[in-house]
Structure 1
Amino acid sequence: MEQAANNWPDVAVIGAGVIGLSAALAAQARGLSVMVIDREGPAAGASAGNAGAFAFTDILPLASPGIFRKAPKWFVDPLGPLSVPPAYALKIAPWLLRFALSARPSRFAAASKAQTAMMALSKAELEPFMQASGTLDMLRRDGNLELYESEAEFRASLPGWAARERHGIEFRHMDAAAMAELQPGLSPKLTHGTFTPGWYSIADPKDYVLALARRFEDQGGTIERADVARLVPSDSGVTIETTAGTRLKAGKVVLAAGAFSHRIAKTLGEKIPLETERGYNTSLPVGAFDLRLQLTFGGHGFVISNLSSGMRVGGAVELAGLDRPPNFARAEAMLRKAKTFLPGLKTENGRQWMGFRPSLPDSLPAIGRSRATPRIVYAFGHGHLGLTQSAGTARLVADLLTDRASPIDLTPFSPQRF
């Protein structure tokens, strides 16, 4: 099957997650005809099972100068906040080397500056985008409470908060009494906390992305289910070859296929060091706990989120690629920890999930044109910040598609920076 030339859409977006659909809606708003292609359909991957947070205060890259004081202990713990299965260690070694280089102070500072600009743009774009897409009623502004188990752990966090303060991020530190007022039912093990009011969340991330898909189709967009095998650019457009042997065409293409994006980019001759942060969680039913806001346990690498469908306990980073079977012992370990921090938590009838979060070594996404052709725009590699940066990415992609000036410097996000 091949489309007739007069049926080509202006843009084909590969990926029906929150980044792809946000970009598709932004392109429609510029007057472009748009088709979305996804192998499973809308909200089938990380966009369905994430923590539901717009983490605009999360400006510090994972690759930081202090990470290597903690990493050796984490790496040897298969259930820890950051782990690499031994059988995968050799394959991921080149990525880990780039990660280590990104943690040098000068690179960390540059990445933090770029991330701050991206967060500011994404926050500014979010409410207008949600208003336009009819989803603003899903937005929550409850904030986030970061929790610590000791004075020493709290003190160790202060340089990070000082960095946020330099970038104008609002927060306030709390003792146990103030924390209990904000969130009753915390364990006395938790001695200190930091509240960030500028941390938003969504009622349910899957419902949000499905609502974006409905709005996109209501506005004349089409969503095709197909597994993209290869992109072939030409002077007149881009041919999209599928694994089923069909061919679709579009004037331009946005590659927003999450953790699978680098495989498609490779067909264009570009080797981008994208790895997979495999995130795990357990979704508990409504009534499992009286959760008032999102809780973050930085020392353990997980969060507890309040959703319209219940609550979600998850996070951590397992760098293990796309093909290894899931290790749900990680989800169980986080749930056990959550129970110790929230003694009244009911852990029965939970639903486990594992999803792929596309991660680049410096924690910045790849946003920019392909080296192979300006007709292809990359928008992937957001790690655990895809939902957070979705509206900002959509704005940047729409500007690239319509040759408008970008509101932020795109150099740090160049797909060719590696």
Structure 2
Amino acid sequence: MAKTVVIIGAGVVGVSTALRLQSELAPDGGQVVLLDRDGVAAEASAGNAGAFAFTDLEPLATPGIMKKAPAWLLDPLGPLSVPPAYALQLTPWLIRFWRASWQDRYHSVVKAQASLMHLAQAATERQIADTLGESMMQRDGALQLYESEAEFAASQRGWQLRQDHGIRFSFMHSPAEIAEIQPGLSPRFTHAGYTPDWMNTCDPKAWVEHLFTAFLARGGQLRRADVRDLESGDAGVTIVTTGNRIMADQVVVAAGAWSHQLAHRLGEKLPLETERGYNTTLPAGCFDLRTHVTFCRHGFVVSRIRGGVRVGGAVELGGLKLAPNFKRANTLLSKAARFMPELDTAEGTQWMGFRPSLPDSLPVIGPAARDKRVIYAFGHGHVGLTQSAATAELVTDILQSRATAIDTSPFGADRF
């Protein structure tokens, strides 16, 4: 019998999953319905750096990171900050974050992350081919920049992880070598690592809209609705929205930073927090950017978006309710102007978005404890775009009662 699946959340994870699942269900008369209160790519999927960061294997919680915790409160404009008004509320999450940084947990997280990234790279290529999306990709590699020999040496754990997992890279040991890949940078950057297989989309919002168009063409539907509750019943799962009730055979929760609120309605308290990301997008012609660039010590990146430059990143663990602190975006832009002396910073557009973050940097992908017809797909932190196609394949396999391409137990909600 044909079934109906409702996917809550029309960001890149939700849309990717909807597209993958609709492609499978359509021949049998099945139906996938996307629900979102604001429409397609209305949150973090619109304003991110557009990067497919398959080469980034290290979690945020690395051994020794908690030694830096006091500084987070003292520097509200630093690369990793906690607003004082939110510090007490964040404490339980930080305790889990600290536990995730222990050597035993760290190594298991890296192993799981590497398996998901490996699948993500292959799944993304399948998604690009399936939707004829190659024209929206920029395959220009990525530079990670360091300001001293000591800083470069301190980064070697991450580069060793890449080597262990077969990721290609090369090193540069002078400003002149760096300039061969990306001219126009300050000579303060003396060392760099370059990953040639890194890629970006030219516009993350347009990419999600492209996937959504393919979803509609295959028979999918979108409904604008604010989901309030999930109710389990013998006949299926009922999605309670403002003024309506929608029945589904199966449900996928892919609502990004708001997902834990729905999980809570099913009796699960998942430690999802919000990485508030800030950026400024500058128009075309502002700088000759030839590759994705990460300023490692400063925790931000510059990427090419619609021919212009997007300057953003850093992590502010501040929840969903505090007012944006756009001084963070201004600080990043000021640094970018110093690090890229030819950058024209006029006519920039600022943005702040909510990235759903779990303390061990792994997403939740798998069934809810109370009702296996509800599948969670959230908590990807700053790599939601990167891992979206892989998540779509895994969720589809779970919904279709098939074996998954990788072991999904490290991503289960029960790990908390």
Q: Common fold, TM-score beyond 0.5?
A: yes
Give the secondary-structure state (helix, strand or coil) at the position aligned to 1:259: helix
Asked whether the 8 Å contact 1:15–1:257 carries over to 2, the reply is yes
Aligned-pair CA distance for 1:140: 1.8
Partner of 2:178: 179
Asked whether the 8 Å contact 1:9–1:35 carries over to 2, the reply is no
Partner of 1:328: 326
Aligned-pair CA distance for 1:220: 1.1
- Could you tell which deviates more after superposition, 70-79 or 326-335? 70-79
> Aligned equivalents of 2:316 and 2:196: distance in 1?
29
Select which of 29, 48, 51 maps to 1:50: 48
Partner of 1:245: 243
Aligned-pair CA distance for 1:276: 0.3
Select which of 153, 162, 165 maps to 1:164: 162
Give the secondary-structure state (helix, strand or coil) at the position aligned to 2:172: strand
Select which of 282, 285, 299 maps to 2:283: 285
**One-letter amino acid matched to 1:368:** G
**One-letter amino acid matched to 2:24:** R
Aligned-pair CA distance for 1:331: 0.3
**One-letter amino acid matched to 1:382:** H
> Aligned equivalents of 1:278 and 1:17: distance in 2?
16
TM-score, scaled relative to structure 2 = 0.97
Aligned-pair CA distance for 1:30: 1.5
| Equivalent residues in 2 for 1:243-322, closer than 5 Å | 244-322=242-320
Partner of 1:3: none
Matched, 1:367 2:365: yes
> Aligned equivalents of 1:213 and 1:147: distance in 2?
35
Aligned-pair CA distance for 1:324: 0.6
Matched, 1:209 2:203: no
Select which of 406, 409, 417 maps to 2:407: 409
Aligned-pair CA distance for 1:73: 2.7
Aligned-pair CA distance for 1:165: 1.1
> Aligned equivalents of 1:71 and 1:161: distance in 2?
24
**RMSD of aligned alpha carbons:** 1.2
| Equivalent residues in 2 for 1:8-407, closer than 5 Å | 10-31=4-25, 32-175=30-173, 176-242=175-241, 244-407=242-405
- Could you tell which deviates more after superposition, 174-183 or 34-43? 174-183
| Residues 345-376 of structure 1: CA deviation (Å, up to 9, x unaligned) | 00010000000000000000000000111110
- Could you tell which deviates more after superposition, 167-176 or 220-229? 167-176
> Aligned equivalents of 1:346 and 1:66: distance in 2?
38
- Number of matched residues? 411
Aligned-pair CA distance for 1:159: 1.7
Asked whether the 8 Å contact 2:276–2:315 carries over to 1, the reply is yes
TM-score, scaled relative to structure 1 = 0.96
Asked whether the 8 Å contact 1:204–1:309 carries over to 2, the reply is no
Structure 1 gaps of 5+ residues are: 1-5
**One-letter amino acid matched to 2:358:** L
Structure 2 gaps of 5+ residues are: none
- Could you tell which deviates more after superposition, 396-405 or 209-218? 209-218
Q: Percent identity?
A: 56
Aligned-pair CA distance for 1:66: 3.5
**One-letter amino acid matched to 1:25:** L
Aligned-pair CA distance for 1:69: 4.1
Aligned-pair CA distance for 1:166: 1.2
Asked whether the 8 Å contact 2:23–2:218 carries over to 1, the reply is no
Aligned-pair CA distance for 1:10: 1.6
Asked whether the 8 Å contact 1:9–1:249 carries over to 2, the reply is no
